[in-house]
Structure 1
Amino acid sequence: MKLLIVEDEPVIARRIRRLSGLILGDRLEQVTVSNTLESGLAHLEKDEIDLLLLDLNLNGASGFDLLETIVARPFHTIIISAYTDKAIRAFEYGVLDFVPKPFNQDRLAQAFGRLEPGSVPSNGQVRYLAVQKRGRHVLFDIQDLTYIKGAGVYSELHFQDQSVEIHNKSLDALARLLPGHFDRIHKSYIVNSTLVRELAVASGGKYSAILKDGTDLPISRARYRELRKKWGD
């Protein structure tokens, strides 16, 4: 795992780096520390990372300026900040977790744990997904989503107005961010369950979710029984 820490206080940056090594062990491949927004962004422009650990106040500069710039990138972001009143705004931009200062190893480990497949999803406060279009980032309200289809390392966002956008995060990554009414119904699909009209079983034991607009999406055999119970069908 490649880690970027953007933190202007050297003592805290060293502590984050040390605890990250203890928590991640051999999984930690590379750690870079930047003490300004500018140097952090410069690193992101030339190097790939898996996880950003970001402070929100760097020598008077706002971490949100960086967060808004990289919101559509394929890596995850964890905020580490004393400004807990900014947590809701941060979650709206799709951060994986908000770790308040002061913090200990257990709390940081809990945040890292959200990276694991099958981990507890975020608190569902994310409101937008950002898509990079023509050199700028466009925010889309997740409540306008109908479903998401996996497309390798990318995802197709299908909206209620029939438009489709490409997101740089994988389906697995998005699944950890979305609110509870977005359900993984298949290895390749996440659906907005508020838009499901009914469940269907075709000949040959093929399961599907029929949406209110008539869209037919496949449901895996392993997920069908759980979804039927959850949706009360």
Structure 2
Amino acid sequence: MRVLIVEDVTLVADRISDLAKKYIVGCKVKISHTLEDAKYCITEEVYDLLFLDLNLNGEDGFKLLKLVASSSFQTIIITANREKASIAFDFGVLDFISKPILEKRFKIAVNRFLNSNGVHRERLKCLAVKSKKAISLINIEDIECIKASGNYSEIYTVDKRRFLHDKNLEKLTKILPDSFIKVHRSYIVEKSKINKVLKHGGGKYGLELMSGEIVSLSRTMYKKFFLNEY
């Protein structure tokens, strides 16, 4: 298991590292002291857990949080500012630990991570989409469906906006709330946005969404999710 610690104060970073190694057996820890280095680490390595300080030498840790809002690893915030921590939950963070760090509280947060079983996904309110110029945050409740596009995904919103996401459907399925279901190898839909099931005959099915968009529905997913509901 790989752990990334983003904390500008060396003593605090070392304490987090020591506690992580104590309570996450066999974990490998990497420490970043700046946002730029943290961004590089995230692009070069796959992590399971991020410990993130929201104030890094005056730099706003939310910049990194927006970047990782659509990542499959989980995040625990380290901060002395409870108000900021509450805002961070909109990005699907698992927990936050106040400074100074108490070992008992740290253990609780780590146990929550080890036993979360995806509960953190239900807290996710925004999905970050990266482009060359900026990061767009899409409200989860605005997403109607997601379509596979090679190694990428196309996100469609209820108001007919479209965004290209740099993760494929399989990776997005791991971070989105359970209300999003993969109904076909090429589509994920938000269940409340479904208007009706279309039966084309010959074992072929489709879904009509609230916007009028039609997406494919596999026979397997029809039997699993819709046979007795529509």
Would you say 1:217 and 2:216 are equivalent positions? yes
Contact persistence 2:92–2:123 (CA under 8 A): no
Q: Residue 65 of structure 1 aligns with which residue?
A: 63
Q: Which moved more, 1:215-224 or 1:140-149?
A: 215-224
Q: Residue 191 of structure 2 aligns with which residue?
A: 193
* Of 33, 45, 49, the match for 1:48: 45
Q: Percent identity?
A: 30
CA change 1:86–1:179 in 2 (3 A) is farther
Query: Which consecutive unaligned segments of at least 5 residues does structure 1 have?
Result: none
Q: Residue 110 of structure 1 aligns with which residue?
A: 112
Q: Residue 6 of structure 2 aligns with which residue?
A: 6
Report the TM-score when normalising by structure 2. 0.73
CA change 1:3–1:108 in 2 (3 A) is same
Instruction: Tell me how far apart the structure 1 counterparts of residues 38 and 171 of structure 2 sit (CA, whole Å).
Output: 22
Q: Residue 83 of structure 2 aligns with which residue?
A: 85
Would you say 1:144 and 2:142 are equivalent positions? yes
CA change 1:86–1:33 in 2 (3 A) is same
Distance apart, 1:7 and its partner CA:
1.9
SS of equivalent to 1:194: helix
SS of equivalent to 1:155: strand
Aligned length: 222
SS of equivalent to 1:140: strand
Would you say 1:131 and 2:133 are equivalent positions? no
CA change 1:139–1:80 in 2 (3 A) is closer
* Of 191, 202, 205, the match for 2:203: 205
Instruction: Tell me how far apart the structure 2 counterparts of residues 14 and 223 of structure 1 sit (CA, whole Å).
Output: 51
Instruction: Tell me how far apart the structure 2 counterparts of residues 170 and 50 of structure 1 sit (CA, whole Å).
Output: 17
SS of equivalent to 1:8: coil
- RMSD of aligned residue pairs (Cα, Å): 3.5
CA change 1:96–1:221 in 2 (3 A) is farther
Q: Residue 156 of structure 2 aligns with which residue?
A: 158
